[in-house]
């Protein structure tokens, strides 16, 4: 086991950073500084300084500028020494920021982001509506009929939220349809755009039942695309409420 006196005398920390130790010496020193706070702190300080020096060298801050003509050599030496001191200070600051402050700031940022996500998740889960499955949705199959024929009848219960209309328009050149629902007195109740034929050759539209009070309704189906638009069918429906 290495001793402090031996480490300081042999400049083990500096040689470790410069990778000048033998594999056996390196392993012995690593076992020592992992259990020694003093040596571990000294090693970190030296590594920060070395990193700052490397950064300053890469930036060209430690290179001596060419001496201009007619300048007093003593003054130039003093100026270069001052520049070198400033470069060393900058190198130390860079090393301190890189090894000391940046990891701490990153750690704080991760903790803040984790806390924000933890607080936001329950609120987001509450705000996202959950789509519930619905059983026994009323469905009406509409067929083109004459005015004198009795329209199909559907009874909507209070718990019914939606009504499905199923229409088979037959052979048609249209790919896109529009459905308009009119109440008694020819008032537009609701519309459904961009209806497309299914593989069964049928159109399906879902209507909110709150827009359908008890009464008679006229439903028109208009072909939209390809143009020109034209009436493709007219249907009638009677809605009853218990």
In the chain, domain spans? 36-127, 139-240
Q: What is the DSSP letter of 11?
A: T
- Tell me what pLDDT residue 76 has: 45
Average pLDDT of adjacent 10-residue blocks, the chain of 242 residues:
78 86 86 80 80 70 51 49 57 53 60 68 60 78 72 90 87 89 89 87 89 90 91 90 90
Calpha distance 182→188 (Å, rounded)? 4
What pTM was estimated for this model as a whole? 0.46
pLDDT at 240: 92
- Token representation of residue 123: 């609120």
Does domain 139-240 fall under CATH 2.60.40.10? My reply is yes
- Percentages helix, strand, coil for the chain, rounded to the nearest 5? 45, 25, 35
């Amino acid at each position: 086991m290495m001793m402090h006196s031996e480490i300081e005398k042999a400049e083990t920390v500096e040689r470790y950073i410069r990778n000048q130790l033998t594999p056996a010496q390196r392993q012995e020193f690593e076992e020592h500084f992992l259990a020694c706070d003093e040596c571990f702190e000294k090693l970190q300080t030296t590594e920060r300084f070395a990193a700052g020096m490397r950064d300053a060298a890469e930036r060209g801050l430690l290179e001596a500028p060419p001496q201009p003509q007619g300048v007093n050599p003593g003054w130039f030496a003093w100026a270069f020494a001052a520049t070198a001191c400033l470069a060393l200070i900058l190198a130390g600051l860079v090393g301190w920021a890189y090894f000391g402050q940046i990891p701490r700031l990153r750690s704080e940022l991760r903790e803040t982001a984790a806390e924000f996500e933890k607080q936001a998740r329950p609120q987001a889960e509450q705000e996202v509506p959950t789509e519930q499955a619905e059983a026994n949705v009323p469905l009406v199959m509409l067929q083109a009929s004459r005015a004198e024929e009795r329209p199909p009848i559907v009874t909507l219960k209070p718990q019914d939220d939606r009504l499905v209309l199923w229409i088979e328009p037959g052979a048609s050149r249209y790919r896109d349809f529009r459905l308009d629902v009119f109440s008694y007195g020819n008032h537009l109740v609701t519309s459904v755009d961009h209806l497309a034929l299914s593989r069964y050759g049928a159109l399906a539209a879902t209507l909110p039942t709150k827009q359908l009070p008890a009464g008679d309704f006229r439903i028109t189906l208009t072909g939209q695309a390809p143009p020109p638009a034209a009436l493709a069918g007219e249907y009638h429906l009677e809605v009853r409420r218990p």
